Amino acid sequence: MCDRLNSIVTRFQTVNRLKGTMMSSLSPLLDGYDLHGLRLPNRVVMAPMTRSRAPLRGRPTEMMAEYYAQRASAGLIITEATNVSSASAAFELTPGIMTLEQIDGWRHITRTVHAVGGRIFMQLWHGGRVSSFALLGGEAPLSPSGVNDDLEHLQVWAQLQNGHYTRIHATSSRAMSLDEVNLTIGAFKQGAVNAIAAGFDGVEIHAANGYLPHQFLSSTTNTRDDRYGGSIANRANFLRDMLTEIGSVVPLDRVGVRLSPYAHYNNVRDMDPDGTYDYVGKMLGEFGVAYIHAADSNGWSGAPDLPRIIERMRKAYSGTLMVNGGISIDQADDLIGHGDADLVAFARKFIANPDLVERIATQAALASPKSTGWYGGGDAGYIDYPFDDSAGQNVPARTAQV
């Protein structure tokens, strides 16, 4: 075990020591949590964040292993959205979980994270209509019903030849055939199988943010007249069948589901989100999934719906509730302390604070992310954020190569 890896282990030991000696002053975020037998040392989750640093056929890189290992003191890491199909990408340079090469790259990451004491789930992703032929080898994006009246609202991103990463225009999608629906469900199932083979502790289905499973749930983007369209129950069949298939190969208490009931992001426009998510929350409880990851993506733009989301989810679903979306540390403490949430996922705070858990423990100031380096590129804005030394450790920002 090399020096950098040892330094990360030392940091985790410091957090545990601080927790033992300062319990009365520590936040509820630092309490442990039993996630269906997977013991989390704290309730701070690293949220999935697209970073677009897999330039070679979607294979995860050594730099990505370093990035995740730096943040492995999180109670749980959820990876960036990972393509389950060649028809999936909404962002260029995102990783996949389809090929042996990709599986091998992810296996190196899980080994690195586990070696420093972390726990990690993979987020499984299909962008559906949120894409462009430019990212899909000239093919039209797939969608439930070929709804294309709002392409200017869809968030599709790519890297220009000059190296800058920027938003590009979405192109028209086409409605999926029943065979394509079944093949896509199969792709999620195979993605889960491949993720477990790569050493992940579990997987999360990305059914939020206007991506394909979310598109099936919406009465606006899904106008099908087969068993996958029409009533709320029918529109939920895509997610239901996916969970049934995944559950045949992976225990469902290791499968989380991310939802964003009121999201404006990617313009999903559900006409009855309360009815939809009352039904979906109850369905997920019946499946016994690991958790619901309820994302308030409107919180990013200063119009939070989190209280409304929590109220509805708690009524419909009695399992583990993870929340996310523009939440401060103080707010997170209150949510955990009052039982409104069981876990809180942070995204941007983890970009700039690889040692976020340690900073919470020592009440150190949080750094702010740089305005560049979020998508694409190299070390800058990715693995070059410094650790705070207030816990008495002098640890470099870069971690072990194992």
Question: Which residues are tagged catalytic?
Answer: 211
* Alpha-carbon span 130 to 155, nearest angstrom: 7
Token pair of 76 as six digits = 């749980």
Give the number of other CB atoms < 10 A from CB of residue 137: 8
Look up residue 83 and give its two tokens: 């393509």
Query: Six-digit token pair at 119?
Result: 């726990």
Do 110 and 76 contact (CB within 8 A), yes or no? no
